[in-house]
Structure 1
């Protein structure tokens, strides 16, 4: 990067760099107003092949089985089939069906569960029916072709109810309030009846997963920032140098999330790692630039020129590393699995945005008197030892380059043969 306009930009147009930072940051803030999570659970498994289209057609013609919640009940005492237990279970079914989104509760108490001998009658009569032989009712339930082994176990220790939520395809946000309400209903009923009851199935599991995505995204961002700060302080042993490196990578992550959100990209289960991933990628470029800036400051070069020299010497190299990384991620866009394709595209774009942040933010900070001028060019003893080790290591590699090349070529061949033996 030795063009005249680039040199002028970094040496004499720091205000233009600051204006660029402010504009992109404001756009990112605007994007965060649209920041959202993709709560279409089936989208994680969506593909572009005929099989998934057939599945979509089946769900449209009938009803998606992904909307079914399961209530697992554990036998109280010796049997479910006592008037008191049956009354409590039938009351639970009625309470569950009161929710607006619940279309039906399939259980041994359902109206469609009939016994013909010879006239049809309910498989399980109401609890207040007189003269009922409940041991005989239990036997009929266990031998019924629908309930036996499906809604009640063969040993009669556990019973299951299937709560059907609507007849259309639902987003996680659609049934999250219902799942929370069902959990509350079961907690109250469990406390009143003394019968163990648990809610499970795809909807409750998905609600917990997507709820954790929201918290994990911000927790990962915080964890990534803390790790970046520790690494920078350990590497540079000076707050100003560490701040340059962390600020470049951190602002890059912020820009990446904000600008992607501005274009309508949503965070899903896979792209949750995007903030930490781009921080790690951006930190590598930032560390290279800051090390070069430090070397220039040690030689007595002024902050503005030190920032420009770092960009001139390392800008192209860092650009190509970011471009090759983006190409690697971008290759995932050809995947037939939609979520993998989206992951590749977002990571590729995020990598390039983070590189832009690093080559703008780090040199601008280095050229300021508050940050760049705070470092007076003193090098710690451990930094000198590290530099001495690096020089010795590089000399050794260059001296025995053919031996090293041969060893790593053999290692590459061995790894390739090992990879060919992997099975999906």
Structure 2
């Protein structure tokens, strides 16, 4: 099959070129339609329960994604409370409010919030805290005293040490956060602010990563390709010959990305890395082909005949390595994360496309090369062989040494590998699952610096919401119907039929929510009482009492005991350092109550009655920012939001907060009828990370099983199939074990790379064992077979490992950590899997040859294997 395909491609090379060109042009033309999506929330399906609930909470409490801007002054003891610094803060706040895409009325800073102050007992005033910036140090000191009396602002809008002030910038669309952050930076420069200004927040990190990942893709992929090209030229001594694998890789990447975009998929953080993954995969098989071709193409040989022989021998290994790699990536479709599914599917497609091009385009390319180009390549390669110089000769000596070591010290090597496996297993148990979009940047990136500095000063720039809801009793209209029904039945039995009038009033009173409906209904009943007779009025009065009772019962979060529970929960979380700060309706009520009663600290408490709570809420609604109330409580008072500020966005830290709340509720049960749920971007990141890990584990185990079956089928032997899986098993174990030992978190890039490690780690084993089977069949002896394998095949494996490992070193200097991780893992996978293949497989075969090859008893002696003479 392989030689037939090669001959056809070489005879009709112009048609092959035309077909490849048409494919690239047709699919490449779709790339300008690209749509970019950098929102980690889309890691979850649109109908996933936590995501749907989070969206509903944003709507219910009027919550927005927020950019955090911090001004930090370290010049003197006054810190940020200097007239000049406060003037800069005021000016920058006003500039931010005028920016397109900013929710101006919701911007939070000292320049946009109220001071709450008692005029006389029972009377308070709400004045702008900093309508104009203080002109003197004394006025700035007075402002500091006012801020420190407002617990909702201290630690949030101003750091407790007084050295930093923040501006919380709600935005209409998180996808505009990078642009808005850039405009804020421009405003800082224009205003000439001397204090350090830092900009952070999860929307900025996510959107900035989206912008920079495409910049990095445009830099890293070509650099990697260039270095791969240079290394291959060094090995093969022919630029025209090496151009073929590079053209093949480019065609694969362009066609795959064009198909993805053309089918309407957005390019997410995951799919943006498809070119980086496909480049080495597309080149791997090409290097095997070109390596064998350059080794076999001796003076006087027919290049076409040589290529036919190469494709015939490599056909099965190429097909099976491509299928196993494709299975590894296709297994990602088992993940519940949509962008990961898309990534896996299209990389799998790209792998299969690269296989087809390797088997057709490379022979066609060789057929099209002028004979003088082939002759020049032959002369350069074999001159170095005759002279014993050059990288290839050193490579021959290295491979020969590896062959002797593997067969003469097989048992020692196996003990060493078992020891390494034990260490790796221990390292795997130390792996910690953790991710944080801010950590996708290197430590010296401006976003990481801003994140570190502001979270040192403030209570936290990461947000999570603990939503407590009244779950029992049904919705208000159902509860009202339940209470009204007995009254309507009794009235009808007494000869007064009110049902039709009642339904008419209810429909006419229906408002935007149940609370508004109840208010309008009570007004309508009160009006009706002036129109009806005394007998009928009695029943309407009972209906009015029922509506008032339902309304009163519905105001769950005006209950003092429930608000005290929230306050105690907040204190527990803050005092235990589980969160930087927690704010809720309880803080607002306590602050207003203090000023209504005495203005003294002892009255910073929840009123003793529902009426007292209602009075504080009513008083707050006369402030300049009454809408802030609805960030903490729904307008029907049946659900409340506890806003948590976290100084870290790591999944581990968010999980600790969840565990702390669970422990507190276990010891202090929620008031009857209440339940809680979580929302907020930090929590959503935890959810999709958890789903990704579970999905990746299922995908990895499933793919491992499928690949094992494929190996048994390929080699028609259970033992050879198991042997082929050894390098994969040890490579994956070693890489993840080292990751656990050095403390590298298991994050999104690492999880996805599990598929790559599975696919590439088995490739070398397939080439090694397939060529060994053919060599044993040819010479009739496993020893001679091993000697033959440690010539061309082993050199091809080593060249491949070197080409890919070196080719992706440019990724190590990328400013984005996922690219660094990919580069490091690619290099590690190729290097480790090559070493394990060339040492472990011959060690196992030489130790138990009868398990794999039927030979006479005399062939099982311990005599050393003859390996190729050194060049």
- TM-score, normalization: structure 2? 0.43
Unaligned runs of 5+ in 2: 433-871
Match of 1:127 in 2: 132
Match of 1:161 in 2: 167
Deviates most, 220-229 or 24-33: 24-33
The alignment covers a number of residue pairs equal to 415
Q: Distance in 1 between matches of 2:217 and 2:64?
A: 29
SS in 1 for 2:166: strand
Match of 1:149 in 2: 155
SS in 1 for 2:29: helix
Q: Is the 8 A contact 1:252 1:356 kept in 2?
A: no
Q: Is the 8 A contact 1:216 1:272 kept in 2?
A: no
Match of 1:421 in 2: 429
Q: Is the 8 A contact 2:6 2:307 kept in 1?
A: no
Match of 2:289 in 1: 289
Q: 1:423, CA displacement in angstroms?
A: 4.4
Question: Structure 1 residues 32, 123: CA separation in 2 closer, same or farther (over 3 Å shift)?
Answer: closer
Say which of 177, 180, 183 aligns to 1:178: 180
Alignment of 1:21-420 (within 5 A): 21-44=20-43, 50-74=49-73, 78=78, 80=80, 86-103=86-103, 104-118=106-120, 119-122=124-127, 124=129, 126-127=131-132, 134-166=140-172, 170-172=173-175, 174-189=176-191, 191=192, 194-298=194-298, 300-370=300-370, 374-376=373-375, 377-378=378-379, 379=382, 380-381=384-385, 382=390, 383=392, 386-387=395-396, 390=399, 394=403, 397=406, 403=411, 406-407=414-415, 410=418, 414=422, 417-418=425-426
Unaligned runs of 5+ in 1: none
Q: Distance in 1 between matches of 2:81 and 2:24?
A: 66
Q: Distance in 2 between matches of 1:39 and 1:320?
A: 35
Q: 1:286, CA displacement in angstroms?
A: 0.5
SS in 2 for 1:375: helix
Question: Structure 1 residues 128, 408: CA separation in 2 closer, same or farther (over 3 Å shift)?
Answer: closer
Q: Distance in 1 between matches of 2:238 and 2:427?
A: 44
Over residues 232-288 of structure 1, what are the superposed CA-to-partner deviations in whole Å (9 max), with x where a residue is unaligned? 112212223322333333333333333333333443333443223212112110011
Q: Distance in 1 between matches of 2:10 and 2:92?
A: 74
Question: Structure 1 residues 218, 357: CA separation in 2 closer, same or farther (over 3 Å shift)?
Answer: farther
Q: Distance in 2 between matches of 1:76 and 1:203?
A: 30
Question: Structure 1 residues 3, 303: CA separation in 2 closer, same or farther (over 3 Å shift)?
Answer: closer
Deviates most, 121-130 or 374-383: 121-130
Question: Structure 1 residues 303, 262: CA separation in 2 closer, same or farther (over 3 Å shift)?
Answer: farther
Q: Distance in 1 between matches of 2:403 and 2:333?
A: 38
Match of 2:738 in 1: none
Q: Distance in 2 between matches of 1:416 and 1:76?
A: 51
Q: Is the 8 A contact 1:71 1:199 kept in 2?
A: yes
Question: Structure 1 residues 23, 401: CA separation in 2 closer, same or farther (over 3 Å shift)?
Answer: farther
Over residues 114-146 of structure 1, what are the superposed CA-to-partner deviations in whole Å (9 max), with x where a residue is unaligned? 323333131525438999955333212112122
Q: Distance in 1 between matches of 2:134 and 2:395?
A: 87
- Larger of the two Rg values belongs to structure: 2
Question: Structure 1 residues 176, 125: CA separation in 2 closer, same or farther (over 3 Å shift)?
Answer: closer
Q: Is the 8 A contact 1:9 1:16 kept in 2?
A: no
Q: Distance in 1 between matches of 2:402 and 2:85?
A: 77
